[in-house]
């Protein structure tokens, strides 16, 4: 209506995509409960009845957004262990991949949305999130590094928890809760995290 040019010929998948994008915007800005289907339809530039033609319900639309997003995240190539690159640089790769989730407004919004829904409506996301092994790549990488003698630890799972725990506890959650306002303070903390991790699990002395 307000956009004649782009209406030359919208295929069904394009219209579906348009709805998903509008819904993503509204959901990530307001959370699940405070998002209305009217607002979503308006933001998508689509009639509310059309939204219901593509998605059965608000819950369904929400779940489609989440699984679409997770599908895209899965397309990121895994980081494989290298014997030649410095360990610290490779750790930094994992750290940057984690930070990607919160640097950009869009993935950050989805992360906020997921967290808030998970807190009081876990059933809405549990199914969609089932079978996701977030630390899997890192665990594999850890084992390779241990094999190579670059790291030392008892169990890879525990070590992975420490690394991602520091990342999430020091950075991810702060950035999510402040909606990105603490992003400028990332660097010194990130450096300290790597120091601490390598001090405990590295085989070369790094302690100042």
Partner DNA sequence: CATTATCTGTACTGTACAGTATAGTATAAA
Partner DNA sequence: TTTATACTATACTGTACAGTACAGATAATG
- B/e letters for 121-158, b = 16+ CB within 10 Å, e = fewer, are eeebbeebeeeeeebebbbbbbebbbeeebbebeebee
Residue numbers 90-119 binding its own copies by CB under 8 A? 112, 115-116, 118-119
Residue 12 interacts with DNA (CB under 7 A)?
Answer: yes
Q: Which stretch binds DNA (CB under 7 A): 56-64, 65-73, 185-193, 200-208?
A: 56-64
Which of these segments, 57-65, 141-149, 156-164, 180-188, binds DNA (CB under 7 A)?
A: 57-65
Rounded distance, CA 34 to CA 175, Å?
A: 22
Cβ atoms of residues 137 and 79 within 8 Å: yes
Q: Is residue 122 at the binding interface for its own copies, with CB under 8 A as the rule?
A: yes
Q: Which does 78 bind (CB under 5 to 8 A by kind): its own copies, DNA, none?
A: none
At closest approach, how far in Å is the CB of 48 from its own copies?
Answer: 21
| Residue appearing with tokens 């009081």 | 120
118 makes contact, choosing from DNA, its own copies, none, with CB < 5 to 8 Å by partner type, with its own copies
Task: Count Cα atoms within 13 angstroms, Cβ side, for 164.
Answer: 18
By beta-carbon proximity to its own copies, the closer residue of 1 and 158 is 158
Phi-psi region at 131: left, alpha or beta (left = phi > 0; alpha = psi -120 to 50): left
User: Closest approach of Cβ 177 to its own copies, in Å?
Assistant: 5
Give the one entry of its own copies, DNA, none that residue 189 binds, where binding means its C-beta sits below a cut-off of 5 to 8 angstroms depending on kind.
its own copies
- Look at residues 162, 143, 161 and name the one whose alpha carbon lies nearest to residue 200: 162
Place of tokens 């933001």: 43
Scanning the structure block, which residue is given the tokens 């390598």?
198
Q: How far is CA 104 from the centre of its chain?
A: 10
Q: Does 108 bind DNA (CB under 7 A)?
A: no
The contact set with its own copies (CB under 8 A) reads 30-31, 33-34, 112, 115-116, 118-120, 122, 154, 158, 161-162, 164-173, 176-177, 179, 188-189, 192-193, 195-197, 199-200, 207-208
The contact set with DNA (CB under 7 A) reads 1, 4, 7-10, 12, 15, 34-39, 45-50, 52-53, 57-59
């Amino acid at each position: 209506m307000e956009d004649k040019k782009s209406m030359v010929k919208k295929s069904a998948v394009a219209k579906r995509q348009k709805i998903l994008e509008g819904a993503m915007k509204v959901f990530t800005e307001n959370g699940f409960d405070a998002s209305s289907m009217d607002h979503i339809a308006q933001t998508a530039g689509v009639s509310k009845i059309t939204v219901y033609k593509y998605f059965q319900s608000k819950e369904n639309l929400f779940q489609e957004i989440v699984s679409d997003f997770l599908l895209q995240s899965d397309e990121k190539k895994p980081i494989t262990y290298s014997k030649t690159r410095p360990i610290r640089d490779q750790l930094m790769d994992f750290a940057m991949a984690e930070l990607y989730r919160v640097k950009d407004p869009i993935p950050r919004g989805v992360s906020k949305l997921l967290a808030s829904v998970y807190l009081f409506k876990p059933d809405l996301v549990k199914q969609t999130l089932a079978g996701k092994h977030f630390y899997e790549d890192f665990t594999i990488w850890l084992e390779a590094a241990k094999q190579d003698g670059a790291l030392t630890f008892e169990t890879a799972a525990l070590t992975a928890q420490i690394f991602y725990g520091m990342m999430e506890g020091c950075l991810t959650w702060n950035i999510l809760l402040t909606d990105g306002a603490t992003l400028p303070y990332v660097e010194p903390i990130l450096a300290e995290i790597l120091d601490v991790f390598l001090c405990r699990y590295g085989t070369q002395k790094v302690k100042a």
